[in-house]
Amino acid sequence: MSNSRFDDIRPYRDDEIPSAMCRIAESESFPLIASYVFPDMPLESAARTVKGYATIREFQHDAMRRVNEQVIARSISELSYSGVDALSPGVPYLFVSNHRDIVLDSCLLQYILVENGLETTEITFGANLMMNPLVIDIGKANKMFRVERPSANIKEFYRSSLHLSEYIRESVTQRGESVWIAQRNGRTKDGKDLTDQGLIKMFCLSERKDKVKALADLNIVPVSVSYEWEPCDVLKALERYDSLAGPYVKKPGEDLNSILTGILSEKGRVHFHVCKPLSATELSALGSEADSEYHRLVAALIDKRINATYRLYPNNYIAHDLLYGDAAFKSMYNEGQRARFLAHMETLAGSGRTDGKRQRDIFLGIYANPIESKGLTESIK
């Protein structure tokens, strides 16, 4: 049972599920949702099924399992994973993941955990994404908890960061709940998976006496997710292009469009790797550093694990060769794969932006930069 002081951010409890399920089943959007989640079931039967869920576990193990199965069947050619067998059943972890898709990074990981007989995690969900009552009901029933965006008000930002830190610590160390959180605020839009050291600082806010213990108690497990076709790659490239002219302001409905595009667009092969947890020994070795340097080094340790296990696909090598005008990786793909990648990149041409080369280079960077992160270019020089 959650402490009432976290009622402003926590997921639903089991006793709140029946009423949430009724609201979902009776919402205007339910026929569209049901057509995707329950494609072979009459609408009335789908509504009865949803209203019949009495617990979070029932909702996740039936409805969310169906969602993931539909995503996989419709848009993923192969879902693979590694490292999961090293997780211990009953042990709570703090999964820190690279962030490529708003919903799927965490959603597919839950599916993998359930498939391997492990408990699902609680999931951070940006307050900006809790855009309407239906999304809130689905998200909070799926163990998502609210995270505020950084505030310009320093005191308010500190207060919300401390609140989040305390909630995560209570979840892992007292309630035995694993937690998923992205390595940074917002998805990477340039293909570079970098952990924000401010995230590590936030973890430590709720245990000030011993910074090594603060992180060791959380059982931090880095997770790398690799998509053959980057979710929302064109949208990400256009956003980065537009941001060159000044601060980027999202349009109404843009987040929802990104969520739907990520779910529906073709992703090809997708691979998850659950990395080795950060050990108390590794953290202790950094413990003599000043706080800011400690946070930076721990973030770098997470990055090293994620980048080392990120899986490269032909598209990454194709993009790198196109971006740098060489054929250094030509043995890693064939002409058919290259032609398909070029055809996909052509969708940028209709965007109406003026600087086509800049736009193209930004797009290619999304796929090429993971090679730089792995340091493979050094090995071929």
Domain borders along the chain are: 78-231+267-309, 314-379
Of 292, 298, 285, 309, nearest to 94 by C-alpha is: 298
CA distances from 181 to 123, 186, 200, 315 (A): 6, 11, 11, 27
Q: Tell me the two tokens of residue 345.
A: 């990149």
> Which one, of 307, 96, 331, lies nearest residue 220 by Cα?
96
pLDDT (mean) for 151-157? 85
Poorest-pLDDT segment among 41-50, 106-115, 253-262, 315-324: 253-262
Cα–Cα distance measured from residue 241 to residue 257, given in angstroms and rounded to the nearest whole number: 18
- For the stretch 103-140, pLDDT in tens is 999 999 999 999 999 999 999 999 888 879 999 999 99
> What sign does the dihedral 226-232-234-237 (CA atoms) show?
negative
pLDDT, position 149: 79
- In DSSP terms, 227 is beta-bridged to 270
Q: Which two tokens stand for residue 291?
A: 């706080």
Cα 74 to its chain centre, rounded Å, is 20
Q: Kindly report the three-state secondary structure assignment for every residue of 115-129.
A: HCCCCCCEEEEEHHH
Query: Sorting pLDDT into bands at 50, 70 and 90, what band is 380?
Result: low
In this prediction, residue 249 carries a pLDDT of 80
Predicted pLDDT at 1: 42
Identify the band that residue 189 occupies on the pLDDT scale cut at 50, 70 and 90. Answer: very high
Which H helix or E strand runs over 60? none
Query: How far are the Cα atoms of 128, 168, 207 from residue 1, in angstroms, in the given order?
Result: 26, 14, 22
How many other CB atoms sit within 10 Å of the CB of residue 381? 5
Could you tell me how many residues make up the chain?
Answer: 381
Query: Chain-wide mean pLDDT for the chain?
Result: 94
* pLDDT above 70 coverage of the chain, percent: 98
**Burial class, 251, CB count within 10 angstroms (exposed 0-12 / middle 13-18 / buried 19+):** exposed
Q: Are strands 122-126 and 179-182 parallel, antiparallel or unpaired?
A: parallel
Q: Which of 35-44, 162-171, 239-248, 287-296 has the lowest mean pLDDT?
A: 239-248
Q: pLDDT confidence of 349, banded at 50, 70, 90?
A: confident
* pLDDT tens digits, 201-219: 999 999 999 999 999 999 9
Kindly report the backbone phi and psi dihedral angles of residue 37, in degrees, each rounded to the nearest multiple of 5, phi listed first: -80, -35
Alpha-carbon distance of 193 to 195, in angstroms, equals 7
Instruction: Say whether domain 78-231+267-309 belongs to CATH 3.40.1130.10.
Output: yes
Q: What is the pLDDT of residue 245?
A: 81
- The model's confidence at residue 2, banded by pLDDT at 50, 70 and 90, is very low
The letter for the amino acid at 101 is D
Residue 379 banded pLDDT, cuts 50, 70, 90: low
pLDDT for position 3: 54
Residue 96 scores a pLDDT above 80: yes
pLDDT > 90? residue 91: yes
Helix (H) or strand (E) holding 256: helix 254-264
Lowest mean pLDDT among 1-10, 89-98, 106-115, 117-126: 1-10
